[in-house]
Amino acid sequence: MTQTVETFRFSPEMLAPAARKPGISSFMRIKNGADFLEATIRTHADMYDEIVAVYNQCTDATADILARLSQELGPKLRVFHYVPNAHPAGSEGHAKTSGDAPNSLVTYSNFALCQTRHQWVVKLDDDHLAIPDAVAAITTRLRRDDPADAKIMHCFSGLNLMRDAQGGWFVPSEAPVSGKGDIGYFRVTEGTYFTHDPRFERFVRGDIERKFAGWFYWHLKYLKSGGGFANYDLAANPDSRYARRHARMQEAALWDLAQTKRALRPGPLRHLRALVDKKERLVIARDTSITHSFPQATLTEALDATTPDWRKWLDTPQ
């Protein structure tokens, strides 16, 4: 059953950490995510106690997919239609709209977060194809409820996938990796919520420290309709950071897995920066772990080894 939400105002006490149940919730904010929405939900559902799916301004089959899956998955999948038009990140509307307005991406994000009911929460995008063993390992760990884990945001990343004209699998040189400390599992407190940045919604985490936990998904953003940029309303925002990124992506070289590993290998200057920069330390931990996480020679072999049913969702004619 889909719940419709006409307006919302956020305050931190709505997060109600003391009232939350043990377990793990994920929340999704979806706009025209039909391409890989079902793949994302099905490859994660078994490992979470609930998935909160909130959709906004969708003109594709998103609502129908969510309605069908909610009938099948029952209370595991809770669906909300957020009616106010949330301005996309990078748009003039987002930059000029107060973060507490109902049509702010910040308010939309905080609404989704507030609907979760479990102590641990993670943001899940509609283009994340799970690496099941890796996700199962972190969720099993968090369910042990070690007090030390509650002080950490367990950040994770995914390789961005693209296809060439012949259907081969590659990683774009312009944006090889998704996840630079912005997504992760965290224990909800009244200090974990979204705030306004003129460029995007910014997640604040109170006194929780970020640590890299692993490679937990394949990022399908650039395989989506519109090349992954359809939701940024670039025609109305030609000067946005996403318009510039879109232009760079058009010219980006495609790397195989070996090239990706070499390109991500941190050099001496990055190691020096890491001495004083916590985020650089996190990214170095991410980049140095890629060879161990994906020891295979090719992306196809890595997909086969980590996500055995990937072809069900991805290996279709382009």
pLDDT over threshold 90, residue 254: yes
Which helix (H) or strand (E) segment is 111 a member of? Answer: helix 105-114
pLDDT value of residue 317: 41
pLDDT value of residue 98: 96
Q: What is the pLDDT of residues 214-225, one digit of tens each?
A: 999 999 999 998
DSSP lists the bridge partners of residue 163 as 169
Task: Give me Rg for the CA atoms of the chain.
Answer: 19
Mean pLDDT value across residues 280-304:
98
Q: How far apart are CA 93 and CA 97, in angstroms?
A: 6
Residue 230 pLDDT class (50, 70, 90 cuts): confident
| Token digits of residue 214 | 């692993």
- Check: CB of residue 119 under 8 Å from CB of residue 20: yes
- Check: CB of residue 133 under 8 Å from CB of residue 309: no
Q: How far apart are CA 41 and CA 20, in angstroms?
A: 22
Range from 8-17, 66-75, 243-252, 303-312 carrying the lowest mean pLDDT: 243-252
Q: What is the pLDDT of residues 37-47, one digit of tens each?
A: 999 999 999 99
pLDDT value of residue 242: 82
Range from 5-14, 80-89, 213-222, 224-233 carrying the lowest mean pLDDT: 224-233
pLDDT over threshold 80, residue 232: no
pLDDT over threshold 90, residue 168: yes
* Nearest residue to 201 via CA among 78, 61, 56, 303: 56
Q: How many domains does the chain have?
A: 1
The CA distances from residue 67 to 5, 40, 78, 142, in Å, are: 16, 15, 10, 30
Quote the mean pLDDT of the chain: 95
Give the max Cα distance, the chain.
54
In a domain, 226, yes or no: yes
Residue 127 pLDDT class (50, 70, 90 cuts): very high
In a domain, 302, yes or no: yes
Q: Which domain holds residue 129?
A: 2-162+170-313
pLDDT over threshold 60, residue 318: no
In a domain, 121, yes or no: yes
In a domain, 318, yes or no: no
Residue 79 pLDDT class (50, 70, 90 cuts): very high
Residue 268 pLDDT class (50, 70, 90 cuts): very high
Residue 316 pLDDT class (50, 70, 90 cuts): low
Q: What is the pLDDT of residues 63-72, one digit of tens each?
A: 999 999 999 9
* Sequence-separated (6 or more) residues with CB below 8 Å from residue 112: 27, 28, 29, 52, 54, 80, 82
